């Protein structure tokens, strides 16, 4: 995510990102004059861009383009785009252009030292944060507002696409990354399914590399989190398992099938919520077929298992994506057991997967 994602022009945004990185390097190297010049340039650039997007009757585009930074800061404060505190701090960069000319710098005794440079870099961060907040309010929904809406209005799923379309990229990304964590830490009950739907809508607008990075966190969940947390997170990212390396995908499926064969009704309800059809799409090689087959037979031999009806319901969804040969092999082996339970199972399976 770029902190300049509210900037309207991609090329311009990339230039600002470059200048901010250079500013940080200059501060670390002790090049304080360069820091002041770059910070003033960055602030002037983002104010000009902002005003050109949101022009008002008082200031024409030509007037904005001709205005010095000091004037732009005054306009921003007058329109409550930045706080009075920020306006006061901005004195360190108001006349940054004077530093470009040594003669003017000498004559006007402009102060160039480390404290001023540190204040200037902090000012850039403050200015970016304040303008992004204003831009978000003018442009559309904020992440926290969408979350609040879902919690108080269970029927709002019909406008998810509209809400997401009215969000700036940084707010979309914030919402995408925060939803699974919110659902993990809070008892949401009926709201959970709405958050899953919303997460899916946002995923359609998020760069693939971001989705991949978030999906890869499943590795850490498998190592360090509880089953409840793993299942909660997996519900949001099960459809993105194709973005994982084969080894990592195998680990997730092995864990999932392990719980499938021994889980009680509540565990199976959590697995079913992940959409068994999606799970079936990833059973695409001999190792994963073996994992599924073993889960089925272990479940078949469990005594007094609670939730076999849910297990078979999950199996129905998974089977949709299996080849006929694999389905037939599994069915034949179940029939081979010749127990009352196996006969009941094969009868149920034949209803959704006939020979």
- Cβ-based neighbour number of residue 222 at 10 Å: 16
How much of the chain, in percent, has pLDDT values that exceed 90?
39
Q: Taking a C-beta distance cutoff of 8 angstroms, is the pair 178, 215 a contact?
A: no
Q: Residue 148: name the closest of 205, 94, 186 by CA.
A: 186
Q: Alpha-carbon distance 139 to 121, whole Å?
A: 27
DSSP state of 189: T
Rounded (10°) CA dihedral 340, 344, 346, 351: 170
Residue 337 has pLDDT above 80, yes or no: no
- Cβ neighbours of residue 26 closer than 8 Å, sequence gap 6 or more: 32, 34, 35, 38, 117
CA–CA separation, 222 and 241 (whole Å): 14
- pLDDT tens-digit map of 227-244: 999 999 999 999 999 999
Determine the average pLDDT of the residues in 261-284.
91
Which tokens hold the place of 201? Answer: 């809508």
Distance from C-alpha of 167 to C-alpha of 173, rounded to nearest angstrom: 10
pLDDT tier, 106 (very low <50, low <70, confident <90, very high otherwise): very low
Residue whose structure tokens are 């590399």: 209
Which phi and psi (to 5°) does residue 307 adopt?
A: 105, 20
Nearest to 8 by CA among 168, 204, 207: 168
Report pTM.
0.67
Residue 100 has pLDDT above 70, yes or no: no
Give residue-wise pLDDT tens across range 175-232: 999 999 988 866 656 688 899 999 999 999 999 999 999 999 999 999 999 999 999 9
Residue 105 binned pLDDT confidence (cut-offs 50, 70, 90): very low
Structure token pair of residue 342: 């196996």
Beta bridge partners of 56: 59
Q: What is the pLDDT of residue 343?
A: 87
Q: Write the CA distances from 229 to 186, 212, 253, integer angstroms.
A: 11, 19, 16
Residue 270: CA count within 13 A, CB half-sphere:
18
Q: What is the pLDDT of residues 5-54, one digit of tens each?
A: 777 666 788 889 999 999 999 999 999 888 888 988 999 988 988 887 77
Average pLDDT over residues 146-167: 88
Cα 183 to chain centroid distance, Å, stands at 14
Instruction: Please give the average per-residue pLDDT across 153-167, as a whole number.
Output: 89
- Does 112 or 331 have the greater pLDDT score? 331
Average pLDDT, the chain: 86
Mind listing the pLDDT tens digit for each residue in 236-271?
Answer: 999 999 999 999 999 999 999 999 998 899 999 999
């Amino acid at each position: 995510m770029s902190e300049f994602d509210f900037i309207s022009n991609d090329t311009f945004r990339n230039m600002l990102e470059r200048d901010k990185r250079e500013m940080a390097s200059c501060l670390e190297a002790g090049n304080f004059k360069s820091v002041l010049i770059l910070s003033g340039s960055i602030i002037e650039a983002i104010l000009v861009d902002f005003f050109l997007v949101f022009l008002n009757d008082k200031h024409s585009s030509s007037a904005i383009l001709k205005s010095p930074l000091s004037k732009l800061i005054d306009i921003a404060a007058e329109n409550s785009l930045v706080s009075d505190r920020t306006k006061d701090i901005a004195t360190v960069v108001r006349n940054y252009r004077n530093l470009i000319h040594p003669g003017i710098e000498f004559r006007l005794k402009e102060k160039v030292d480390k404290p001023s440079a540190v204040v200037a870099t902090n000012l850039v961060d403050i200015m970016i944060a304040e303008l992004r907040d204003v831009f978000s309010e003018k442009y559309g929904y904020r992440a926290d507002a969408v979350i609040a809406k879902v919690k108080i209005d269970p029927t709002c799923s019909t406008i998810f696409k509209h809400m997401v379309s009215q969000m700036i990229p940084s707010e979309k990304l914030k919402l995408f990354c925060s939803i699974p964590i919110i659902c993990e830490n809070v008892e949401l009950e009926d709201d959970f399914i709405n958050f899953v739907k919303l997460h899916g809508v946002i995923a359609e607008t998020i760069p693939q590399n971001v989705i991949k990075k978030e999906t890869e966190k499943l590795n850490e969940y498998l190592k360090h989190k509880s089953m409840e947390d793993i299942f909660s997170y997996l519900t949001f990212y099960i459809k993105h398992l194709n973005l994982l390396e084969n080894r990592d995908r195998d680990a997730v499926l092995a864990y999932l099938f392990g719980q499938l064969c021994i889980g009680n009704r509540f565990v199976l309800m959590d697995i079913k919520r992940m959409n068994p059809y999606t799970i079936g799409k990833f059973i695409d090689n001999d190792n994963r077929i073996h994992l599924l087959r073993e889960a089925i037979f272990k479940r078949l031999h469990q005594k007094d298992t609670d939730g076999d009806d849910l297990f078979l319901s999950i199996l129905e969804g998974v089977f949709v994506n299996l080849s006929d040969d694999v389905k037939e092999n599994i069915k034949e082996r179940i029939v081979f057991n010749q127990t009352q339970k196996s006969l009941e199972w094969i009868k149920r399976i034949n209803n959704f997967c006939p020979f």
